[in-house]
Amino acid sequence: MGSVGYKYLGRKASAFRSDHCRHDEAVVVAKRVRSWIWITVLWIPVLPVGFRNRWLCDDCGEPTAATPRTRLGVKIAIAVFLAVAFLGSFAREPERRPMRKDVALEQDDTPLWFLRSVTGAMAIAAAVWSLRHRPIPTRAKLLEGFEPVAFESCPLCGGQIEGTGHMRYCAACSSEECFLPLA
Ligand SMILES: [Zn+2]
Ligand SMILES: [Zn+2]
């Protein structure tokens, strides 16, 4: 498990914008961060394969557009899997002819009943979780009533912001100010 994967390393910020964060469900400052993508083996970075720009929330550090919530399809799949596991636990093994009648009666069903109650309870919990699912709003929907916050100073270095309209940048670190929604 997790022997080969990838990791983002390095966080070079080059732009900022007023954004809506899915995790915080609030208007936040986001920074456009350029990170190297490294292939990892046993969590150790071994090979850089490229870089990627991401908009990360300055508050929670997560990508602002990524949804933290589980999709309905995934919830239903989990509920169905647990229900099948629950029902499967009632499937009878082929009758084994006991050598002696008194030995057959000693079979302990406790682990089986434990398995049944756990999978049954989890299946019900997953079903309730699916039924109580609130639709995940699209990014466009979230940005409909979006009110960007005007920056007076650079959130990256505190420098003064110059320029007008959609051509604004920090005079000190030359980071650019970006605006939502992006085309
Ligand atoms: Zn956030
Ligand atoms: Zn700056």
Q: Are residues 17 and 30 in the same domain?
A: yes
Asked if residue 4 is part of any domain, the answer here is no
Asked if residue 85 is part of any domain, the answer here is yes
Asked if residue 164 is part of any domain, the answer here is yes
Q: Are residues 76 and 113 in the same domain?
A: yes
Asked if residue 3 is part of any domain, the answer here is no
Structure confidence at residue 140 (pLDDT): 86
Closest by CA to 141, choosing from 68, 75, 67, is 67
Structure confidence at residue 141 (pLDDT): 86
Residue ranges near ligand 2 (ion) with Cβ within 5 Å? 154, 156-157, 159, 170, 172-173, 175
> If you search the block for the tokens 């469900």, which residue do you land on?
25
Closest by CA to 170, choosing from 20, 24, 31, is 31
Give pLDDT tens digits for 116-156: 999 999 999 999 999 999 988 888 888 888 888 888 899 99
Name the residue range of residue 127's domain. Answer: 72-91+103-131
Q: Which ligand is nearest to the CA of 26?
A: 1
Q: Which ligand is nearest to the CA of 161?
A: 2
Residue 60 has pLDDT above 90, yes or no: yes
Instruction: Please state the pTM of the whole predicted model.
Output: 0.68
Q: Are residues 57 and 79 in the same domain?
A: no
Q: Are residues 34 and 124 in the same domain?
A: no
Asked if residue 96 is part of any domain, the answer here is no
Asked if residue 2 is part of any domain, the answer here is no
